[in-house]
Each structure stands twice: as structure tokens, then as C-alpha cells.
Amino acid sequence: MAKEKAKIAVIILNWNQTDLTLACLKSVFQSRTDGQIEIEAIVVDNGSTDNSRKRLKEIQEKRSLSRQGRGEIEILRSKFPNFKVIFNKENLGFAGGNNVGIRYALKNKADFIFILNNDTEIKNDCVLNLWQTFEEEEKIGIASPKIYYAPGFEFHKKRYQKKDLGRVIWYAGGKIDWDNVLGRHLGVDEVDRSQYKKIKKNEFATGCAFMAKRAVFEDVGLFDERFCLYLEDLDFSYRVVKAGFKLVFNPQAVVWHKNAGSSSAGSALQTYYFTRNRLLFAQKHAPLKLKFLVYRQALEKLRQGNKIEKEAGRDFFKRRFGFQEIDKIKGND
């Protein structure tokens, strides 16, 4: 009797960036299955205000795109029957938007769920390699791929030779930096010279790309929507390990990331959510001594920080979590 195929749901969150999402989808549509897995692509449109809704509906219904987009992705879509678009009425943030997709996938009996940023493209055996990771050990709950900067999206562009592009590491596993209450990427900005070629235990799975088995969500729950954006992946990783699952990094699974395609590094948005969410993460998980230190830093931000940092600190102490209008905060100068 033939072994039943594993059902894998790939969840891609879109907000006003359909071109990025289509490129990501194109790479997913070309995934190898080797007759062992069944892939469903689920795009969650997070309340986009541009033409995303129209374009995604056309792909879902297999109709022609605009002249510019007609052709390859439509042909690939026709060969990829399992495709779903969910339209949120408003922007629920990274955590809330992905949770919509996760709930749909669980309801539809997915065995594994692959969270994938829309500003990425995957190698054609990425999904297959991540899935095969779970055969190594029963306790593995999350498998993370090796993530490179997409060519041209490196942080230090002048540092690399042309032959290095596409092999500059963005993530080769992660760890929790308790001193700064952040998730640290191993190997970041290094050129890949096979220094991260072994499957190994992991501490922090970046929300940019990771695969989790169904039991993880059933036992641990979904993303904490109070984070909204940033550090929700760190919080989820910590909760998964605490529940007794293992996190693993598999370098055979490869992703390319168009860094800062989803949100700009160093922006007011990033400053606000990092400041507020570090406090939330510390409150939930940090040892008592570190909690007091982080709270003291927060009080210092309230006195001496910039406008965004002060607002983030106030919102934490007022228990105002989830999505906040950053433009309104900036506009109160």
C-alpha cells in the first residue's frame, strides 16, 4: 500500500507588494515533490490598499494577468491546483495575518506549515528538504532553511565580489541574545564557504522562513498577536522549545531574501515595534533580574529617548499592544 503524501501548507503574507508575492509564488509553484508531499500555497492578503486583491484573484481563478505578467506564472499556476487566497479586511500585522493562514491550514488538515515571507524566493527542493528534516527525530518541531540575501539586497554591498552574490548569508541558524533581548542570526553577512553545512540544533527560528509540524501549533498555539510585528518569531521559538520540541537548522533547504522588502530597516516602524516588543518578550520570558534591567532601560527611554521610543515605552506600560498607527505617532511632533 502506497504511503500517504504529507500535506504541506505554504503561507505567504501579502500587503501592497504583489510583485514580490508573485515572484515568491512562482518559486513555490516550481517546487519538487518527488511524489512524497502535497503542497498547498496559501496567500493571505493583509488588507492591501493597492491592486493586490484584483491581481491575486486573477491568479486564483486562473485568468490572465496584465500583459506584463501574462505567461509563465499563469502556466505554472495551471499545473499547481492547490492554491488559496484569503482576503483580510484590515492589516492584522505579521502575527495576526499569518495566524489567519495557519488556522485555515489546520482546518484543512495540513500536516506541516511553512511560514514564508513574500519577499523571498525558494530553491525548488526547499520544501522537500525541510519536510525531510522531521524524519531525523520525533521531537523536531521546527525546521529552518539557510537564507541568503537575494543578489543586490546585501546590507554591505561594496564588501562582496560579483561571484559572491547569491551566497551571502542572511541566516544560518539563530540564538537568543538575552543581553539585548533579541534574536541573533548566525553567519549573517558571511559569504558561504560551506562553514554552515551540517544540520544542527537551533535556538531561534526566524519568521522569514520556517516549517513547523502540526503538533507544534496544536500544543503551543499560534503567534502572539500582541507583538504584531517583530519578535513574534522569537517569542514563538522560545515557547516551542519550552514545550519540549526541538528547533533544527537544515542548510540543504535554501531561501533567498530580498532584505527590507517587507519593512524598512531603521525605520520609525521598526524602532517602535522593536522597542515595545523587547519589553513584552522580557516580561513574558526573561529571568527576574533581566526583567528589572529591561524595565529600567524602558524608563530611561521614556525620559531621554526619541519620540518613537517614548511612545513605544508608554504603550508597553499602558498595555497597548497589537497594531499601532506609526504615522500618527510621527505626526504628533
What DSSP designation does 191 have?
B
CB atoms within 10 A of CB 198: 10
Report yes or no on 1 lying in a domain.
Answer: no
What DSSP designation does 63 have?
-
- As a whole number of angstroms, the distance between CA 193 and CA 168 comes to 10
97 & 239 share domain:
yes
pTM: predicted TM-score of the whole model, two decimal places? 0.92
Residue 289, C-alpha cell as written in the block: 533580574
Buried b (16+ CB within 10 A) or exposed e, 257-292: bbbebbeeeeebbbbbbbbbbbbbbbeebbeeeebe
> Which one of 257, 279, 313 terminates a domain?
257
- As a whole number of angstroms, the distance between CA 223 and CA 106 comes to 14
Asked whether the beta carbons of 126 and 37 are under 8 A apart, the reply is no
300 & 197 share domain:
no
> What is the tens place of the pLDDT at every residue in 1-49?
567 999 999 999 999 989 999 999 999 999 999 999 999 999 999 999 9
Least confident of 1-15, 70-84, 92-106, 158-172: 70-84
326 & 300 share domain:
yes
Q: Which of 39, 57, 48 is nearest to 110 (CA)?
A: 39
Strand pairing of 246-257 and 209-213?
unpaired
- As a whole number of angstroms, the distance between CA 218 and CA 221 comes to 6
43 & 163 share domain:
yes
Report yes or no on 298 lying in a domain.
Answer: yes
Report yes or no on 148 lying in a domain.
Answer: yes
194 & 324 share domain:
no
Q: Which of 214, 238, 254 is nearest to 103 (CA)?
A: 214
CB atoms within 10 A of CB 330: 14
Model confidence band, residue 261 (pLDDT cutoffs 50, 70, 90): very low
pLDDT number for residue 329: 60
> What is the tens place of the pLDDT at every residue in 154-209?
989 899 999 999 999 999 999 999 988 999 999 999 999 999 999 999 999 999 99
Domain encompassing residue 26: 6-257
Model confidence band, residue 265 (pLDDT cutoffs 50, 70, 90): low
Full DSSP string of 93-133: HHHHHHHHHHHHHHHTT-SEEEEE-TTEEE-TTHHHHHHHH
Report yes or no on 162 lying in a domain.
Answer: yes
286 & 235 share domain:
no
Report yes or no on 262 lying in a domain.
Answer: no
Alpha-carbon dihedral of residues 146, 150, 153, 158, nearest 10 degrees? 90
Share of the chain above pLDDT 70, in %: 90
Burial status of residue 297 (CB atoms within 10 A of its CB: 0-12, 13-18, 19 or more) = middle
> What is the tens place of the pLDDT at every residue in 208-241?
999 999 999 999 999 999 999 999 999 999 999 9
244 & 307 share domain:
no
CB atoms within 10 A of CB 80: 17
Distance between start and end Cα atoms, the chain: 69
Burial status of residue 134 (CB atoms within 10 A of its CB: 0-12, 13-18, 19 or more) = buried
95 & 238 share domain:
yes
pLDDT number for residue 262: 46
Q: Which helix (H) or strand (E) holds 140?
A: strand 140-149
Question: What CATH number is associated with residue 19?
Answer: 3.90.550.10
Place of cell 498595555: 319
- As a whole number of angstroms, the distance between CA 129 and CA 256 comes to 15
245 & 274 share domain:
no
Largest CA distance in the chain: 69
147 & 216 share domain:
yes
Helical pair 268-285 and 232-242, crossing angle rounded to 10 deg: 20
- As a whole number of angstroms, the distance between CA 87 and CA 14 comes to 10
What DSSP designation does 35 have?
T
172 & 200 share domain:
yes
Q: How many domains does the chain have?
A: 2
Q: What are phi and psi of 290, to 5 degrees?
A: -70, -35
> What is the tens place of the pLDDT at every residue in 136-152?
899 999 999 999 999 99
Report yes or no on 263 lying in a domain.
Answer: no
